[in-house]
Chains A and B, each alone.
Chain A
C-alpha cells in the first residue's frame, strides 16, 4: 500500500523533472505552428532581410531588418553603458566599499532589480526623454538612446551581481600573493582579480545582452516606435520585442500579420536560447 503510494509520487516527481523539456518544446512548437505559416506566402529572405516593415499597408511588407537593427542598436548602446558601469560598481562593492556601505549598496541594487520594467519605462518617458530632448535639441526624446539608457539600468542588477560573485570567488591567495609582492589594492584588482574573474564577466555580459534583447514594455514606451532603419542613436527606432507587443492587438488572427509576429517570436526565442547557453558555458567554465 505504502509502496504504491510512494511509487506514484516518485513517478510524479520524475514527470515534473522532465516538464521543463516539455515546455520548451511546446513553446517552440507553438511559435513554429503560427510563425512558419507566414512563409507559405512570404519569402523568408524577404522577411529576414527586407528593409520595409509595413504590415498594414496594401500590399503588406514584412521585412524585419529595421526591427533587427533597432534591437541591435538599442542593445549595443545598453551594453556599452552598462558593462563598464557594472564592472566598476561590482568592483567597488566587492573590493573597495567599507562593510557598512556594502550592504546599503547591495540593497540598492536589489531594489533596482525589483522594480517592474513597466514602471521604469514610464519613469523613463517622463524624465529621461524630455531631458534628452533638451540636451540634444531633438524633436522628441523618445529615441534609441533613451532606450539604451533605461535598458542599461535594467540590466545592471544582473550584470553587477554576477560580476560581484565572480570577484568574490577569486581565490584569496591570488590577492594575497599580489599584495605580498608590493602591489597596491587597485593594481591587484586590475591585474589579478579582474582577469581571474574574466569568465564571470563574460557571462554577465551575455546575460545582460539576453536581458536587454528580451525587454519589451520599457522599450515600447521609450524608443519612439518608428520602424525604420536607424542611422543614429538619437532617432526613434522599433525593436523586435516592441513590435510584437504593439501590433498583436491589431493583427487579425490567421492573417499574415499575425503569422509574421509569431515569426519574430521564433527569432527572439532562438537568439535568447543561444545567448543563454553561451552565458551558462562561461559561468560554469571555472
Chain B
C-alpha cells in the first residue's frame, strides 16, 4: 500500500500549494476592505483632493478613470468586433490571416510600459495631442484591442455553424448573415469579454504614465485634450511620491479602484451566466 500513501502525501502537498496561492488573495482582499472601508465617506468619493492630496477626496481620479474607460471603449470595441468578424466570417486560410493572428498575439504580449512609450511617441508627440484623455484613451485602446478581438472571436465561433448555413440557404449575403444571425447571438459573449477587457484597462498605470496622468489636478477634466488624474496613477503617487499620507487614504483609493474593477467583473459574470441559462441552443 506504499503507492496509496504516496498518493495521500502527494495530494496533501498539492492542497498546500493551492492554499499558498489562494489564501494570500483572500488576505489581500480582506486587508484592502478593512483598511480602506473607513475612508469611504461622501467627501472622499465626491470631493476634491486637498492639502497636496493628504486630505479631501479623489473625485478627479475617479472621473478621470471613468473617462479613460469610456474613451477606450469607444475606440477599441467597434474596431475589435469588426476585426474579429473579419477573421471568423470573411477571412480565408491564407498567409494574410496568419499574419493578422501573429500580430494579435504580439499586441497581446507587449509590455504595458512599451504601450506607454508608443502612446508618448505617436499620440502625445507625433500627432500633437499632448498628455490628454484623448492620448491616454487611444493608448489604452490599442492595448485592449487584442482582448476584444479574442473574446469576440470566441463568441462568434460559439454560434453554431448551422445557423449560418440556414441563412445562406435562404439567399442571404454574408453581411446579412453576420448581421442578423451571427452577431445577435454572439452579443452576450462579446459584452462579457469587452467588460473584462475594460476593467483591465481601468487598472493599468504604465500606459497612462506619460500619456495622460496628472500628478495633482484638483479639478475635473473639461475636455478630451485635458490631462487628468486617474485612480491607478493616484495610488502610485500616494504610495511613493507624497510623504505623510494617511494609510486610510491610500487604502481608500485602492478600495475604490479594486471595487470598480470587481464590480465590472461581477457584471460580466452575471451576463455570462444569464446568457448560458437563456441559451436555447
Contacts and interface: CB of A to CB of B under 8 A. Distances in A.
Given A27-B110, A221-B240, A17 B83 contact: yes
A80 interface: no
A214 B64 CA distance: 25
B224 interface: no
Interface stretch (B23-31, B37-45, B46-54, B155-163): B23-31
A167 to B, nearest CB: 12
B114 A217 contact: no
B18 A118 contact: no
Contacts of A241: 111, 113, 206
Contact of A118 (B113, B126, B175, B235): B235
A153 B24 contact: yes
Interface SS of chain A: helix
Contacts of B108: 276
A115 B27 CA distance: 13
B113 A244 contact: yes
A20 B83 contact: yes
A244 B103 contact: no
Interface in B57-115: 79-80, 82-83, 85-87, 90-91, 96, 99-100, 102-115
Contacts of A216: 111-113, 205-206
B205 A16 contact: no
A49 interface: no
Interface in A104-160: 105, 108-112, 114-123, 125, 127, 153, 156, 160
Contacts of B240: 221
B219 to A, nearest CB: 22
A24 to B, nearest CB: 5
Contacts of B205: 116-118, 216-217
B107 A20 contact: yes
Nearest to B8: A186
A269 B121 CA distance: 15
A90 to B, nearest CB: 9
Nearest to A81: B20
A268 B232 CA distance: 23
A273 B104 CA distance: 11
Given A19-B83, A122-B239, A123-B31, A248 B107 contact: no
Contacts of A269: 110-111, 114
B265 to A, nearest CB: 5
Contact of B105 (A18, A34, A244, A276): A276
Contacts of A248: 116-117, 120, 209-210
A23 B103 contact: yes
Assign chain A's interface to a size class: 35 or more
Nearest to A189: B10
B22 A16 contact: no
Given A6-B173, A105-B18, A217 B199 contact: no
B21 A16 contact: no
Contacts of B199: 114
A196 B126 CA distance: 50
Contact of B117 (A122, A125, A253, A261): A261
B146 interface: yes
Interface in A231-286: 241, 244-245, 248-249, 253, 261-262, 265, 268-269, 272-273, 275-277, 280
Given A86-B21, A92-B14, A116-B258, 17 more contacts: A17-B86, A31-B117, A31-B118, A34-B121, A85-B21, A89-B21, A110-B265, A111-B25, A114-B265, A121-B239, A123-B32, A214-B111, A216-B205, A217-B236, A244-B116, A265-B113, A268-B113
27 contacts: A13-B90, A17-B83, A18-B96, A18-B100, A20-B83, A20-B149, A34-B117, A88-B18, A89-B22, A96-B11, A97-B18, A108-B21, A111-B262, A112-B25, A114-B265, A115-B258, A116-B257, A156-B21, A184-B7, A214-B113, A244-B117, A248-B120, A248-B209, A249-B209, A268-B111, A272-B114, A277-B102
